[in-house]
């Protein structure tokens, strides 16, 4: 049971909002279902009255969307770090793809809410477009620098993202199958779909 929370000093409402989002993220990762999340459970985690959540979020969907946006920002920062360590366009594309696959493996609940929940049909998640655009840019760099054959970078990026999402989703939803290491599968996808050597 969460201990009783001390009130934030006046003017620190953003701190409470961040605490609510952090609690929702942890619960979503555990539940793997945005519909199962209750604002009462989030409030209990933070140690506040359920009515306090409504000061910051109109309803559950608004809280889930804010939580997924925060997850997305954190994930993009991690992708940036992974890409910095890669030398050359192929290594950078591989690093970002592996990081995204590894993140989904470590956070299957958040992955399912982000990509497989009914919220995707009820609400626009425009922030997810950044991930698609940056993957396309990484594929285009491989082509521009001669590390992959010239092609339609948008189409190739979409094929790659669809294949990686399929590989990740199947691992999340069917964990008992004899999966090869994700690194090997991603390397094969980069060769077959992007055309890297």
Which CATH number goes with the domain that contains 85?
A: 1.10.357.10
Does residue 15 fall inside a structural domain?
no
Token pair recorded at residue 23: 């609690």
Rounded CA Rg of the chain: 19
28 closest CA partner among 14, 45, 16, 15: 45
Asked if residue 48 lies in contact with residue 54, where contact means CB atoms within 8 angstroms, the answer is no
Estimate to the nearest angstrom the gap between the alpha carbon of 83 and the chain centroid: 16
Does residue 163 fall inside a structural domain?
yes
DSSP 191: I
DSSP 190: I
pLDDT digits (tens, 9 = 90+) for 142-183: 999 999 999 999 999 999 999 999 999 999 889 899 999 999
Number of domains in the chain: 1
Range of the domain at 173: 60-194
pLDDT digits (tens, 9 = 90+) for 105-143: 899 999 999 998 888 888 888 888 998 999 999 999 999
Does residue 8 fall inside a structural domain?
no
DSSP 107: -
Stated pTM of the model: 0.85
């Amino acid at each position: 049971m969460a201990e009783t929370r001390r009130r934030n000093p006046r003017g620190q409402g953003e701190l409470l909002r961040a605490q609510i989002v952090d609690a929702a993220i942890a619960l979503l990762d555990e539940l793997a279902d945005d519909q199962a999340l209750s604002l009462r459970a989030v409030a209990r985690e933070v140690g506040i009255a359920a009515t306090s959540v409504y000061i910051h979020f109109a309803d559950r969907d608004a809280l889930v969307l804010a939580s997924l946006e925060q997850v997305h920002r954190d994930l993009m920062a991690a992708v940036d770090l992974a890409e910095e360590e890669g030398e050359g366009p192929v290594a950078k594309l591989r690093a970002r793809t592996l990081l995204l696959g590894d993140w989904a493996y470590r956070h299957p609940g958040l992955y399912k809410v982000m990509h497989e929940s009914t919220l995707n049909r009820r609400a626009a998640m425009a922030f997810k477009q950044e991930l698609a655009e940056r993957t396309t840019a990484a594929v285009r760099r491989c082509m521009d620098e001669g590390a992959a054959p010239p092609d339609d970078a948008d189409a190739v990026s979409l094929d790659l993202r669809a294949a990686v999402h399929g590989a990740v989703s199947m691992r999340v939803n069917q964990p008992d199958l004899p999966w090869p290491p994700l690194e090997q599968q991603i390397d094969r996808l980069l060769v077959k779909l992007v055309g890297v050597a």
